[in-house]
Structure 1
Amino acid sequence: MRHTLPIAPQFYVTAPQPCPYLDGRMERKLFTALQGENADKLNNSLSSQGFRRSQNVLYRPSCADCASCLSARIDVSKFKPTKSQRRTVKRNSALKRRATSPWATEDQYDLFRRYLDSRHADGGMADMDVFEFAAMIEETPIRSRVIEYTDAGDLIGVCLTDVLGDGVSMVYSFYTPDRPQDGLGNHIILDHIEIAREAGLPYVYLGYWVPGSQKMGYKAKFSGLEVFMGGTWHPVRDPEAFAAQTAPLGNPPIAEQVANISLPAMTPKRV
Structure 2
Amino acid sequence: MTDRVRLFQTLPHACGYFAERTAQNLVIDPGAPRLDQLYGQALAKGFRRAGSHLYLPQCDACRACVPCRIDVERFTPDRTQRRCLKRNADIDVSEVMPGFTAERHALYERYLRTRHAGGGMDTADEEDFQRFLAAPWSPTVFLEMRREGRLLGVAVTDIALTGVSAVYTFFEPDEAARSLGTFGILQQAALARRRGIPYVYLGFWIAGHPKMDYKRRFHPLEIRQQGRWIAMP
TM-score, normalised via structure 2 length: 0.93
Q: Distance in 2 between matches of 1:19 and 1:39?
A: 26
Deviations 1:51-98 (A, max 9, x none): 011222110000011001011110012212111110000000111111
Q: CA deviation at 1:36?
A: 6.0
Match of 2:27 in 1: 31
Q: Distance in 2 between matches of 1:55 and 1:33?
A: 13
What is the letter of the counterpart of residue 98 of structure 2? Answer: P
2:45 aligned to 46, 49, 65, which one? 49
- Change beyond 3 A, Cα 1:171–1:69: same
Moved more, 89-98 or 129-138: 129-138
Q: Distance in 1 between matches of 2:106 and 2:79?
A: 33
Match of 1:104 in 2: 100
- Change beyond 3 A, Cα 1:85–1:138: closer
2:80 is the counterpart of 1:77: no
Identical amino acids, percent of aligned pairs: 36
1:159 aligned to 148, 155, 158, which one? 155
CA contact (8 A) 1:34 1:56 kept: yes
Q: CA deviation at 1:37?
A: 4.9
2:131 is the counterpart of 1:123: no
What is the letter of the counterpart of residue 95 of structure 2? Answer: A
2:224 is the counterpart of 1:228: yes
Q: Distance in 2 between matches of 1:133 and 1:93?
A: 29
Q: Give the 3-state SS of the residue equivalent to 2:11 in structure 1.
A: coil
User: Gapped runs of 5+ residues in structure 2?
Assistant: none
2:35 is the counterpart of 1:16: no
Deviations 1:139-190 (A, max 9, x none): 2303211111101000001011111121210111111111121111111111
- Change beyond 3 A, Cα 1:142–1:105: same
Match of 2:142 in 1: 146
Deviations 1:78-120 (A, max 9, x none): 2121111100000001111111122211111100111111111
Deviations 1:189-245 (A, max 9, x none): 1111111111111111111111131111211111111111110111113xxxxxxxx
Match of 1:256 in 2: none
- Change beyond 3 A, Cα 1:31–1:37: closer
Deviations 1:112-134 (A, max 9, x none): 11111111113342232222112
Q: CA deviation at 1:44?
A: 1.1
Structure of higher CA gyration radius: 1
Q: Distance in 2 between matches of 1:162 and 1:34?
A: 17
Q: CA deviation at 1:138?
A: 4.2
Q: Distance in 2 between matches of 1:24 and 1:106?
A: 37
Match of 2:179 in 1: 183
CA contact (8 A) 1:104 1:138 kept: no
Match of 1:137 in 2: 133
State the Cα RMSD in Å: 1.6
2:214 aligned to 211, 218, 226, which one? 218
Match of 2:110 in 1: 114
2:225 is the counterpart of 1:206: no
Q: Name which structure has the greater RCO, CA cutoff 8 Å, separation 6+.
A: 1
User: Gapped runs of 5+ residues in structure 1?
Assistant: 1-6, 238-271
CA contact (8 A) 2:52 2:134 kept: no
Q: Distance in 2 between matches of 1:178 and 1:119?
A: 12
